Amino acid sequence: MRIHHIAPDISMLSDPLAVPGLGFLPVNAFVLRAAEPVVVDTGLSLPGRGFMEALGSVIHPSDVRWIWLTHPDRDHTGALFDLLDAAPPAKVVTTFLGMGIMSTERPLPLDRVFLVNPGQTLDVGDRTLFAFRPPLFDNPATVGFYDPRSRACFSSDCFGAPMASADIAGGNDAFDVPPDELRAAQLLWATVDSPWIENVDRAAYLATIRPLEVTEPELVLSTHLPPAIGRTDTMLDMLAAAPGSRAFVGPDQQALEELLAGFERTPG
Mean pLDDT of 8-13: 97
Position 254 pLDDT exceeds 60: yes
Domain holding 71, by residue range, is: 2-265
Give this prediction's pTM: 0.94
For residues 138-166, give the mean pLDDT.
97
**What pLDDT shows up at residue 266?**
64
Average pLDDT over residues 183-187: 97
Residue 262 has pLDDT above 80, yes or no: no
pLDDT digits (tens, 9 = 90+) for 195-210: 999 999 999 999 999 9
Is the pLDDT reported for residue 77 higher than 80?
yes
pLDDT at 261: 86
Instruction: Determine contact, residues 212/233, Cβ cutoff 8 Å.
Output: no
pLDDT band, residue 259 (cuts 50/70/90) = confident
Least confident of 129-138, 162-171, 251-260: 251-260
pLDDT at position 223 over 80: yes
CATH number of 17's domain: 3.60.15.10
Residue-wise pLDDT for 84-111, tens only, equals 999 999 999 999 999 999 999 899 999 9
Please state, rounded to an integer, the average pLDDT across all residues of the chain: 95
pLDDT at 62: 97
pLDDT at 258 (0 to 100): 86
DSSP 225: E
Q: What is the average per-residue pLDDT within 75-88?
A: 97
Number of domains in the chain: 1
Distances, alpha carbon 229 to alpha carbons 190, 206, 222, 234, in Å? 20, 22, 12, 11
Q: Please list the residues that pair with 208 across neighbouring strands.
A: none
Q: State the DSSP string of 128-184.
A: EEEEE--SS-SSTT--EEEETTTTEEE-TTTT---BSSHHHHTSS-GGGS-HHHHHH
User: pLDDT confidence of 265, banded at 50, 70, 90?
Assistant: low
User: Could you tell me the pLDDT band of residue 268, with boundaries at 50, 70 and 90?
Assistant: low
